[in-house]
């Protein structure tokens, strides 16, 4: 159990993803009480844009034990405007390109739940 992170994944899983927005418009991920970009303590949960674009990706061939059955798999950083997310891309490695549009959801179960991206 990880307060803040669990609720973030619950919301993302049910299609109501959000990020934390400061009064200057910077985005970050919970749990946080301070904007990591400017120090603002006034953070509000703001709807995550439906579509992000892949900033960079890698095909992981040598995984940690938790992903032993998944490799090779694609992990990417995707830009959702005010906030970026890291997640596995649920697509064939050959088909992924920088700039591809993706939506964010949740993969895995229980303690291994994490952000995943699906091509749009």
Residues that bind other proteins (CB under 8 A): 2, 5, 28-29, 36, 55-68, 70, 72-73, 75-77, 84-88, 93, 98, 108, 112-116
Which DSSP helix (H) or strand (E) runs through 11?
Answer: helix 5-13
User: In b/e form, how buried is each residue of 68-90, taking b as 16+ CB within 10 angstroms?
Assistant: eeeeebbbbbbbbebbbbebbbe
Judged by CB under 5 A, which of 35, 54, 89, 116 binds Zn ion? Answer: 35
Q: How far is the CB of 65 from other proteins (least distance, A)?
A: 5
Nearer to Zn ion, 20 or 54 (CB): 20
d(CA 76, CA 82): 17
Nearer to Zn ion, 26 or 88 (CB): 26
Which of other proteins, Zn ion, none does residue 17 bind (CB under 5 to 8 Å by kind)?
none
Q: Does 29 bind Zn ion (CB under 5 A)?
A: no
User: Count of residues binding Zn ion (CB under 5 A)?
Assistant: 7
Q: Does 98 bind Zn ion (CB under 5 A)?
A: no
Q: How far is the CB of 97 from other proteins (least distance, A)?
A: 10
Whether the upstream peptide bond of residue 31 has omega within 30° of 0, thus cis, is yes
d(CA 65, CA 114): 15
**Distance (Å) of CA 1 to CA 7, 98, 119:** 10, 33, 29
């Amino acid at each position: 159990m990880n307060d803040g992170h669990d609720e973030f994944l619950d919301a993302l899983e049910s299609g109501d993803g959000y990020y934390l927005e400061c009064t200057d418009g910077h985005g970050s991920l919970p749990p946080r009480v301070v904007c990591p970009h400017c120090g603002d303590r006034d953070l509000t949960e703001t709807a995550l844009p439906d579509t992000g674009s892949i900033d960079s990706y890698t095909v992981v061939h040598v995984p940690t034990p938790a992903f032993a059955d998944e490799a090779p798999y694609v992990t990417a950083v995707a830009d959702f405007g005010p906030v970026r997310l890291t997640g596995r891309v649920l697509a064939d490695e050959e088909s992924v390109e920088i700039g591809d549009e993706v939506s964010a959801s949740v993969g895995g179960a229980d303690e291994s739940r994490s952000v995943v991206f699906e091509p749009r």
